A and B are shown apart, each in its own frame.
Chain A
Amino acid sequence: MEGLIQDIVNGLLLGGLYAIVAIGLSTIFGIVRLVNLAHGDLMILAAYLSLFMVTSLGISPLLTMFAIIPVMFAVGYVLQRFLLNRVLGKEMEPPLLVAFGVSIIVQNFMLMAFTPDARSLMSELSLMTFPLGPDLSIPVLYLIDFCIALAVIIGLHYFLQNTYMGRGIRAASDDPYAAKLMGINTQNTYAVAMGLAIMTAGVAGVLVGMTFTFYPHSGPQYLIIAFGVVVIGGLGSMKGTFVGGLILALAQILGARFFGPGYQLLCGYVVLLIVLAVRPQGILGRG
């Protein structure tokens, strides 16, 4: 089974990237009960912003993260505070549909601003590999993606567990009324949560832009990946998101290996549908 080890290694590393793609969606869904359908598109927006900085300033894409992070946080905050907070309520439809609207607006804005041409955040890192023996070489880029993803997820976990704001967010999600009684400004808290989520989306977007080619319409495919990770791994669990990412990535790569490259995505979808039907709360999720 030559190359199987390589495929598995690739799958695991890619899983890290998928996890960070999903963490924002998972966080927001867990906290505000909102499925942000614009998640993927905001990721790609970050990729384009990074591209803009790379081409105009000539810096490496990784460096652009320093700017992307605050910008995307602001985007998320504003989005939640002034738009999504107004439709949060009992019914599930309005926020879903507003997010849908935002998704379409962002996509078409990018289409108009950046044309439908394929883009990539190129750097010397994209071509480098780290050979580990005759049959195994680790693409440096995948490794970097994995490490950054891990760092961000652990960082977010720490934030939510141990800081005042983090605890405020969790309180507001558990019981908004009680939280308000305790003096927490839920409007602001939700907005901060969304800001964090979109910030991770921004980081994910830059990583995705460095690893793969992207188009203005690439957003939805990453939304599906994010959703897949959340469903498989389980809601409300950082470990779950990570595990979900690994499983989805492995399913795709091994699926490509056994069924043919065109079926890569399909294998991921099938696994997702099965989990959705059989155990909707995910493997490590809390029902």
Chain B
Amino acid sequence: MLIALTLGLGSVPIWGSEYAMLFFMLFCIYLALAQMWNLLAGYSGLISLGQQSFVGLGGYTVAVLSSYYGINIWIGVVLGGLASVLLALFMSLFIFRMKGVYFAIGTWIFAEALLVWFSNWAYVKYGSGLFIKPSNDLSMVTIYYAAFVVGAGSVALVYILLRSRLGLGLMAMRDDDQVSETLGVEVFRSKLYCFLISAFVTGVTAGIFYVFQIFIQPYKAFAIDWTVKLVFMVIIGGIGTIEGPILGALIYVVLSQFLAEYFSVSMLILGGIAIVVILIAPKGIMGTLQEKLGFEVLSPRRF
């Protein structure tokens, strides 16, 4: 059935209108971003409020490379991912010394610092932003498929990751940090790897998003808004499950498209639902379903 869904998503350009492609493209992009946030918060115990650092860096890499140097847009996207990994490595020097809520706020401060830095940087035209000018004409179909690869790929990546040795270690960590450390699970390394991986995927996804958006500006690219959306998607969908972000991303895109003209209302509703979910069903929709009914579509468990 999962195969059916994937096929359905993959074939959207064939049967769907342009608007359908827009809709599902956004879904794939948010799905990838949400999966990565979930990987960090749901499985690695790292609450990141600063994923937008990678969003902005990925987007700007693509913008700079395509506008100034005319490099192929897809190479730019991958380079954006790599740049994000380097940034994550740098960030980790600072924030991996911090625990708990300090870590979360530390990631946020980093993003804000990047925002100020980019908006003052003459090279990227300060706060006025950059245009992404692909050297060859891009059709919506191409962009859609790129998003699809990232979206489906992120789910597959998380699934494979969690079934691997790294994943076993993470799940052990999730259950009990100190016990697993005594059992030889390298807590620090595992967390770092997840952080780097999430940075890469986030950077690449953002690159694709900005190829579509054509226009990037520091105030929105590095804004906390990104984290807000990811948090809500994952919380509502189900933190710590693989299916959770899928559902969460779908709900978000439906809600935001439906209420596109009333953005604030959509955020209000989203916030309200998130609070209700945390109070009543802290594991989110999929998480609660999993708990109560043993309902798992994508189980990283090996038994």
Chain A residues near B (Cβ < 8 Å): 35, 83, 86-87, 92-94, 96-98, 100-102, 104-105, 107-109, 111-112, 220, 224, 227-228, 231, 260, 262-263, 265-266, 269-270, 272-273, 276-277, 280
- A101 and B271 form a contact (CB under 8 A): yes
- A102 and B267 form a contact (CB under 8 A): no
Would you list 27 pairs from A and B whose C-beta atoms are within 8 A, ordered by A residue? A35-B101, A83-B275, A86-B279, A98-B279, A101-B272, A102-B271, A104-B267, A108-B265, A108-B267, A108-B268, A108-B271, A111-B264, A112-B268, A220-B224, A224-B108, A224-B109, A224-B112, A262-B119, A263-B116, A266-B116, A273-B94, A276-B95, A276-B98, A276-B105, A277-B97, A277-B98, A280-B99
Tell me, in angstroms, the Cα distance from A35 to B267 when the chains sit together: 21
- B116 and A280 form a contact (CB under 8 A): no
Interface centre among B109, B119, B231, B265 (most CB of A within 10 A): B109
- Among A100, A231, A269, the residue within 8 A (CB) of B231 is A100
Residues in chain B near residue A269, CB distance under 8 A: 109, 112-113, 116
Tell me, in angstroms, the Cα distance from A102 to B232 when the chains sit together: 12
How many pairs, one residue from A and one from B, have CB atoms within 8 Å of each other in the complex? 105
Residues in chain B near residue A83, CB distance under 8 A: 275, 279
CB distance from A259 to the nearest CB of B (A): 9
Given contacts A108-B267, A263-B116, contact A277 B109 (CB under 8 A): no
CB within 8 Å of A: which B109-152 residues: 109-110, 112-113, 116-117, 119-120
Chain B residues near A (Cβ < 8 Å): 41, 47, 93-95, 97-102, 104-106, 108-110, 112-113, 116-117, 119-120, 224, 228, 231-232, 235, 264-265, 267-268, 270-272, 274-275, 278-279, 282
CB distance from A166 to the nearest CB of B (A): 25
CB distance from B203 to the nearest CB of A (A): 21
Query: Could you tell me the dominant secondary structure of chain A's interface residues?
Result: helix
- B282 and A266 form a contact (CB under 8 A): no
Interface centre among B95, B101, B231, B235 (most CB of A within 10 A): B101
Residues in chain B near residue A272, CB distance under 8 A: 109
- Among B100, B106, B275, the residue within 8 A (CB) of A101 is B275
CB distance from A223 to the nearest CB of B (A): 9
Tell me, in angstroms, the Cα distance from A227 to B228 when the chains sit together: 18
Q: Residue of A at shortest CB range from B266?
A: A108
Tell me, in angstroms, the Cα distance from A272 to B232 when the chains sit together: 27
Tell me, in angstroms, the Cα distance from A173 to B26 when the chains sit together: 45
Residues in chain A near residue B232, CB distance under 8 A: 101, 104
Residues in chain A near residue B109, CB distance under 8 A: 224, 227-228, 269, 272-273, 276
- A105 and B94 form a contact (CB under 8 A): no
- B268 and A96 form a contact (CB under 8 A): no
Tell me, in angstroms, the Cα distance from A224 to B117 when the chains sit together: 16
Residues in chain B near residue A273, CB distance under 8 A: 94, 106, 109-110, 113
Tell me, in angstroms, the Cα distance from A224 to B267 when the chains sit together: 21
- A94 and B278 form a contact (CB under 8 A): yes
Given contacts A220-B224, A269-B113, contact A97 B278 (CB under 8 A): yes
Residues in chain A near residue B95, CB distance under 8 A: 276-277
Residues in chain A near residue B235, CB distance under 8 A: 97
CB distance from A149 to the nearest CB of B (A): 23
CB distance from A241 to the nearest CB of B (A): 16
Residues in chain A near residue B106, CB distance under 8 A: 273, 276
- Among A96, A224, A265, the residue within 8 A (CB) of B47 is A96
CB distance from B206 to the nearest CB of A (A): 21
- A265 and B282 form a contact (CB under 8 A): no
- Among A96, A112, A220, A228, the residue within 8 A (CB) of B101 is A96
Given contacts A96-B47, A112-B268, contact A266 B113 (CB under 8 A): yes
- B116 and A101 form a contact (CB under 8 A): no
- B278 and A104 form a contact (CB under 8 A): no
Tell me, in angstroms, the Cα distance from A280 to B97 when the chains sit together: 9
Tell me, in angstroms, the Cα distance from A260 to B98 when the chains sit together: 30
- A112 and B264 form a contact (CB under 8 A): yes
Q: Residue of A at shortest CB range from B224?
A: A220
- B47 and A98 form a contact (CB under 8 A): no
Given contacts A92-B100, A272-B109, A277-B98, contact A104 B270 (CB under 8 A): yes
CB distance from B150 to the nearest CB of A (A): 26
Residues in chain B near residue A105, CB distance under 8 A: 268, 271-272, 275
Tell me, in angstroms, the Cα distance from A35 to B104 when the chains sit together: 11
CB distance from A121 to the nearest CB of B (A): 23
Tell me, in angstroms, the Cα distance from A96 to B95 when the chains sit together: 18
Given contacts A97-B235, A98-B279, A277-B97, contact A265 B268 (CB under 8 A): no
- Among B101, B108, B270, B278, the residue within 8 A (CB) of A98 is B278
Instruction: Supply 17 further A-B pairs (C-beta < 8 A) apart from A96-B47, A97-B274, A280-B97.
Output: A35-B105, A86-B279, A92-B100, A93-B47, A101-B232, A101-B275, A105-B271, A108-B271, A228-B109, A262-B116, A262-B120, A269-B112, A269-B116, A270-B113, A273-B106, A273-B110, A277-B98
